[in-house]
Amino acid sequence: MAERVAAGRPTGSLRRVLLPLALAQFICSFAGSNMNVMINDISEDLDTTVQGVQTAITLFLLVMAALMIPGGKLTDRWGRKRCFTIGLTVYGIGALMSALSPGLGLLILGNSIFEGVGTALLIPPVYILTTMLFDETTSRARAFGAISGMGGIGAAAGPLLGGLITTAISWRAAFAFQAMVVAIIVLLSRRIQDPVPADPTRPFDTGGAILSAAGLVCLVMGILQADNNLWLMAILMTLGALLLLWFFRHVRAKERRGEEPLLSTSLFRNRTSNLGLVTQNIQWLILIGSAFVVSAYLQVVRGYNAIQTGVIFTAATAGILISSLAAERLAKKHPQRSLIVAGFITTLCGIVLLLAMVKGSPSAWAFAPGLLLVGLGVGVMLTPSVNLVQSSFPDEQQGEISGLSRSVSNLGSSLGTAVAGTILVAGLVSWSYGLAMISLALVGTIGLVAALFLPANPVAEGVVGSPD
């Protein structure tokens, strides 16, 4: 399965390879949002608090973000297919541990650590293999559209499927469902082969991996302390900033010595890619942040159960599904910058509607229009943002940029839960919900500004594969 697409639509064998890759992105995104509707069920069953469940959700997203760059780098040394398979195995073990967990500690170990590590190993190969195998512009855009769309659908459908499973069986069955899907992906991925052989002699920057992961963990954990310990928050965030500064000095020192660092500084010299990474981060921050805020508010403040909360999120799922199905047609008619800008504007309109619901109708269905617009907006943005970043670099840098891209996206997810979630959990009343949504709107405005600075013609900026 080392063939590549030459032109037009991919061959049947490549389409069969795309299926397990897209399913892998779906289940990882599903895992990042499905626990939102289980907050009450898990906290009651495990005798913990809403803050405890929030910590488990945030740690899962954070572990992914912290280890995605090392995971992308390991694909060169171990091989993309091998990393993919190992990641699926670790993820599956974590899902089963979570399903059987008697307390919050084992749930964090299984869900936050094992599933997080597994995701960090399996997701970079998804984007690297797609970039390498689909090297024709239209087919690559279509492949990224399928994968990004499945990721967005997984994140948006997580509350609905999680709510259905939790209400019909239990929250533990939702983790068993994840393990089952992972087993199916392993079977479907048997046809996948690396287009480039692994290089076991490729050096791995262990020191850089530790510094980058520790810095990101300290930053996000510091944010989580905002509602109960401001001194600890300041200490952790300062420590995180210092560790990341140490990491970049470490990278520069290795490059000056002619050694290969964990992350090349050349990745940050591409203006289009840098802006694309900012938009990716904010897209996932808004999607996951709004999902957590609305889910927690509906369950804790308004008293809705898992299935009621999940059904309400069908609006966001429908929005992402509609925009994902239209991704190819939109890419042919509009520049990628225009799609990203339009996506942010639509998403911000959705947040405004969600914000208006605080003093609006008491019906939970009043949240549906806002969730629909958020889903539509994020769905429109996902594919062009990923394609801009991945296509900005040649094959030999795909391991690095894929890890960086996925790390930035998952950092956005963890920040969405940490920042907006912490504001909400601090009060869990109408005013804290409103403040959390305002914070998401402000961040979304930053994303819109970054999108406006994207070049109208990415090809002129050195981006390969733009549909403009």
Using DSSP, state whether 37 is helix, strand or coil: helix
Tens-digit pLDDT profile for residues 164-206 = 888 889 999 999 999 999 999 999 988 888 888 888 888 888 8
Q: 196 CB contacts (<8 Å, ≥6 apart)?
A: 80, 132, 395
- 227: pLDDT confidence band, cut at 50, 70 and 90? low
Contact 90, 121 (CB under 8 A): yes
What's the alpha-carbon Rg for the chain, to the nearest Å? 21
pLDDT attached to residue 239: 93
At 83, give phi and psi (nearest 5°). -60, -40
Give the DSSP H/E element, type plus range, for residue 29: helix 12-33
Q: Which of 455, 277, 294, 269 is nearest to 381 (CA)?
A: 277
Helix axes 80-100, 171-188, angle to 10 degrees: 160
Q: Is the pLDDT of residue 108 over 90?
A: yes
Confidence grade of residue 460 (pLDDT, cut at 50, 70, 90):
very low
pLDDT band at 467 (very low <50, low <70, confident <90, very high): very low
Name the pTM for this structure.
0.74
- Maximum average pLDDT range among 272-286, 394-408, 421-435: 272-286
Measured from the Cβ of residue 372, the count of other Cβ atoms closer than 10 Å reads 21
| pLDDT tens digit sequence for 235-288 | 988 999 999 999 999 999 998 998 888 888 888 888 888 898 999 989 988 988
Q: pLDDT by residue (tens digit) across 23-35?
A: 998 998 888 778 8
Q: Half-sphere exposure of 50 toward its Cβ, with a 13 Å CA cutoff? A: 23
Backbone dihedral angles phi then psi of residue 91, each to the nearest 5 degrees: -60, -45
At 95, the amino acid letter reads: A
Compute the distance between CA of residue 94 and CA of residue 179 in angstroms, rounded to an integer.
Answer: 8
Residue-wise burial string across 177-200, b where 16 or more C-beta atoms lie within 10 A, e elsewhere: bbbebbeebbebbeebebbbebee
Q: Are 128 and 399 in contact (CB under 8 A)?
A: yes
CB 89 within 8 A of CB 78: no
CA angle 379–380–384, rounded 5-degree value: 110
Whole-Å CA distances, 254 to 208, 240, 264, 401: 10, 21, 10, 18
pLDDT score for 389 = 83
- Rounded CA separation 417/59 (Å): 10
Q: Residue 8 burial (CB < 10 Å; 0-12/13-18/19+)?
A: exposed
Q: d(Cα 244, Cα 241) in Å, to the nearest integer?
A: 5
Whole-angstrom distance, CA of residue 294 vs CA of residue 160: 13
**pLDDT top residue among 57 and 8:** 57
Residue 416 is given by DSSP the state I
pLDDT band at residue 1, thresholds of 50, 70 and 90? very low
In this prediction, residues 142-169 reach a mean pLDDT of 80
Has residue 215 got a pLDDT over 70? Answer: yes
Give mean pLDDT, residues 63-84.
85
Phi then psi for residue 2, to 5 deg, are -100, 0
Go through the domains of the chain in sequence order and give each one's CATH number: 13-203+269-453 (1.20.1250.20)
The whole-number pLDDT of residue 70 equals: 86
Q: Work out the number of other CB atoms within 10 angstroms of the CB of residue 230.
A: 10
